[in-house]
Structure 1
Amino acid sequence: MARTVLVVDDSAFMRNLLKQLLEEDHEIVGEAENGVEAVELYRELSPDVVTMDVVMPIRNGIEATAEIKSLDPASSVIMCTSVGQEEKMREAVEAGADGYITKPFQKPNVLQAIDDVVGVEV
């Protein structure tokens, strides 16, 4: 059975790119463009993994990750960030992020990050 993924990014282009990279191997159950929507959809959909942009309006990815982790400590959240945002990644890990991928996305790196945090499917 394919893993379920919630894709969160304020950029429609980035959400679509991630969906294209993942849809062959995973089921995209939802997408959000800010941290508030991400938390609401996480509650509703309970995905296996969330790909979470760091910088977003309304509620950033670090705040949304902390809230998702407080709701479900077993949740799997992978942060998506641009190269050179080491400080933001440190904050994300402190908030509970399980892993990260950097933009521009490479399919093997995205799939490996999911395997690393959720486990390899057999």
Structure 2
Amino acid sequence: MKRVLIVDDAAFMRNVLKTILENGGFEVVGEAQNGAIGVKKYEELNPDLVTMDITMPEMDGISALKEIKKIDSNAKVVMISSMGQEAMIRESVTAGAKSFVVKPFNENIVIKTLTNLF
């Protein structure tokens, strides 16, 4: 079972993603409410995959992605974005994101996107 860390500042979104992932056969090993905590949890938990919101307080998702890639160049990070964030999605892919998912979530697309990384 693939181990996932969810990084999103909205508790509601973390809960929605957690339910989708667990229903899809993933194990959610941790959650973080901003990028800075996400980077620390990545080091502690060494997950197989990270879902990373782009817009968060303290440290945004793109900055956190860059820090995680410094720790582990093979890290699999999927960016979570809202509609209209195309420029940020391009920047995150350039910074090493493996893929992205757009809010609002379609459960099948989330599972397919994450499963295709393995």
Give me the TM-score of the superposition, normalised by structure 1: 0.93
Write out per-residue CA displacement over residues 54-84 of structure 1, whole angstroms, 9 at most, x where no aligned residue: 0000000000001101110111000000111
Aligned partners of 2:5 and 2:111: how far apart in 1? 14
Structure 2 counterpart SS, 1:100? strand
The aligned counterpart of 1:109 is 109
Mapped partners of 2:72, 2:113: distance in 1? 20
Q: In 2, are the aligned partners of 1:31 and 1:38 still within 8 Å (CA)?
A: yes
| d(CA) in 2 for partners of 1:86, 1:6 | 23
Q: Deviations over 1:32-56 (max 9, x none)?
A: 0100000000000000000000000
Asked if structure 2 preserves the Cα contact closer than 8 Å seen for 1:8 and 1:52, the reply is: yes
Q: Secondary structure at the match of 2:73?
A: coil
Does the 8 Å CA contact 1:63/1:95 hold for their aligned counterparts?
no
Q: Match for 2:11: what amino acid?
A: A
Partner of 1:76: 76
Name the % identity.
48
State how far apart, in whole Å, the 2-side matches of 1:109 and 1:65 are. Answer: 22
The residue identity in structure 2 corresponding to 1:16 is N
Distance 2:113 2:65 in 1: 16
Matched pairs, number:
117
Whole-Å Cα distance in 2 between the matches of residues 5 and 44 of structure 1?
13
TM normalised by structure 2 equals 0.97
- CA RMSD between the two structures: 0.7
Deviation, 1:116, is 2.1
Runs of 4+ in 1 over 2 A off after TM superposition: none
Q: Distance in 2 between the 1:92 and 1:17 partners? A: 22
Which residue is equivalent to 1:99? Answer: 99
Q: Which runs of 5+ in 2 are unaligned?
A: none
CA contact (8 A) 1:82 1:104 kept: yes
